[in-house]
A and B are shown apart, each in its own frame.
Chain A
Amino acid sequence: MHVTRGFTGRPRVLDPGLPPGQYDAGDDWPVLSAEVTPDLAPADWSFRVDGLVAEPHTWDWEAAHALPASGYEGDIHCVTGWSKFGVRFGGVSLDCFLALVRPHVSATHAVAYSHTGYSTNLPLADLTGGRAWITWEYDGTPLAPEHGGPARLVVPHLYFWKSAKWIAGLTLLDHDEPGFWEGNGYHARGNPWEEQRYSGD
């Protein structure tokens, strides 16, 4: 431990929900996209799942909304250091989409990609079992464009760069393939509880 002379820091809050190295952003929800926020209307949005699946499929806005509604209520954690508690996302569980395309047994990973061309890689196991959603509502209102609206992926148990904004699709693979930030030195999995921020963590 390298103690910084004279540094005391914020009052200590013992919060078991706060992963190591994170702070509570409170009411703030910083925006950190690296690209121009796209002008994407719900009518132009689509979501495709392909790759190692029995039946590749593309949903448009209405077809996606016809699936059983589901949502996430809990915490999110950004690699830049903030965490946000008690957020509410509404949409559809990714399990519903995957059940319809039937992943091949050889599928182990996925690349999630955006309508901007942004991409991020995830183990398939992190996207199944009620742990990932395609969402279009935040706190009961339509998801704002700068936060990924009309629809974004939400994988809240990993750092939030994995939760691709303006989600366009998921390609299932039999190997791991680095996405946008992962190719820029970020960790392949990004588990906040193990502080997997950068490659080598």
Chain B
Amino acid sequence: MTETFAPRTRFAVPGRIAVGDQAASVWRTATLTEVRRETPRAATFRLAVPHWAGHLPGQHLMLRLTADDGYVAQRHYSIASAPDGSGHIELTLDHIEGGEVSGWFHTVARPGDTVEVRGPLSGFFAWPGDRPALLIGAGSGVVPLMSMVRHQRARGLAVSLRLLVSARRPEELIYARELGAETTAVFTRSAPQGVPVGRLAAAHMAPLLAEQPPGGWEAYVCGSNGFAEHASRLLVAAGQPVDRIRIERFG
């Protein structure tokens, strides 16, 4: 028995996106070069990573901090920047209450500090820019999606891309100044004048799924598990095929 195994099942998982098999097992020392505030809770941290192999929009990395007694904390973070060959990458991190890693970034870190990273990791949530993409995120779930938006703009890709992003309040909308005509923002607690307050709903989905691009949308959903469940159900109800929904849940 040597054939490739393929399960015969009722549902379907989206296929793998071809990514390079670079040496993601190597830890590299990255130097913090810039910190930019995005919202009261979130900031962007720019890192110079020597010999960074490059990434696809949507990929993540593993980051570790080491205390002087050898204690190690490691976390997975989505990459916010588009691949640009600059040898730099950007992460946008929420300041999590009691978070040992995000707490360090938000209260201790300053340019010149070094951390360790390995990656890029996983080819599942990646967008190579080769297919129309419908991006749906909430809170810092917008981070890997922003990498895709930036990639599309930087390369001038003609392929369709739409971003549906949910935030509690306008001041908590990460990358607000950078979002353009491709974006619809949904506010759940308070909204700018004239914009309704409310949860992401079928009415937000319908116009996007009505404008099916050639080949259909590849949907990317990122956020908390509660948001991911809600958004993916709305997508399925609106007719998006389950094997074209890719989900990245926080945890």
Contacts and interface: CB of A to CB of B under 8 A. Distances in A.
B251 A173 contact: no
B13 A35 contact: yes
Interface in B51-74: 62, 64-74
Contacts of B225: 30-31, 146
A36 interface: yes
Interface in A128-185: 146, 168-169, 171, 173-175, 177, 180-181, 183-185
Contacts of A113: 5, 7, 9
Interface string B16-41: 10010101110101000000000000
B87 to A, nearest CB: 19
Given A4-B65, A119-B5, A198-B25, A31 B251 contact: yes
B247 A23 contact: no
B92 interface: no
B169 interface: no
A185 B122 contact: yes
Contact of A32 (B5, B23, B249): B249
B84 interface: no
Given A30-B249, A174-B1, A198-B121, A4 B16 contact: no
Given A2-B66, A7-B66, A37-B229, A200 B113 contact: no
B75 A81 contact: yes
B246 interface: yes
Given A37-B232, A114-B9, A31 B249 contact: yes
Interface residues of A, number: 56
A154 B125 CA distance: 25
B251 A201 contact: no
Contacts of A20: 72
Nearest to A106: B1
Contacts of A30: 225, 249-251
Interface in B222-244: 225, 228-229, 232-233, 235-236, 242-243
B114 interface: yes
23 contacts: A2-B66, A4-B104, A4-B115, A28-B251, A30-B225, A30-B249, A31-B249, A35-B14, A36-B11, A81-B74, A111-B7, A114-B7, A114-B13, A116-B12, A116-B242, A117-B9, A117-B11, A117-B13, A173-B1, A177-B5, A184-B122, A184-B124, A185-B24
Given A10-B100, A21-B72, 4 more contacts: A2-B114, A3-B67, A32-B251, A146-B229
Interface of B: 1-2, 4-5, 7, 9-14, 16, 19, 21, 23-25, 27, 29, 62, 64-76, 100, 104, 108-109, 113-116, 118, 121-125, 225, 228-229, 232-233, 235-236, 242-243, 245-251
